[in-house]
Amino acid sequence: TLMKRGYHDSIVEHYENPRNVGSLDKNDDNVGTGLVGAPACGDVMKLQIKVDDDGNIVESKFKTFGCGSAIASSSFATEWVKGKTVDEVLAIKNSDIAAHLKLPPVKLHCSMLAEDAIRAAVSDLKNKQEKKKSV
| Binding region for ligand FES (CB under 6 A) | 10, 13-14, 38, 41, 43, 66-67, 69-70, 76, 79, 100, 110, 113
Pick the catalytic residue: 3, 40, 41, 99?
Answer: 41
Which residues contact residue 131 at a Cβ distance below 8 angstroms, ignoring those fewer than 6 apart? none
Active site residue 41: yes
Burial grade of 57 (CB within 10 A; 0-12, 13-18, 19 or more): buried
Least distance (Å) between residue 79 CB and ligand FES: 6
Alpha carbons 106 and 64: distance in angstroms, whole number = 19
Least distance (Å) between residue 46 CB and ligand FES: 13
Q: Residue 38, CB half-sphere, CA atoms under 13 Å: how many? A: 22
Nearer to ligand FES, 95 or 127 (CB): 95
Active site residue 67: no
Nearer to ligand FES, 41 or 58 (CB): 41
Least distance (Å) between residue 25 CB and ligand FES: 26
Q: Closest Cα partner for 71 from 35, 47, 96, 93?
A: 47
The residues assigned a catalytic role are 41, 110
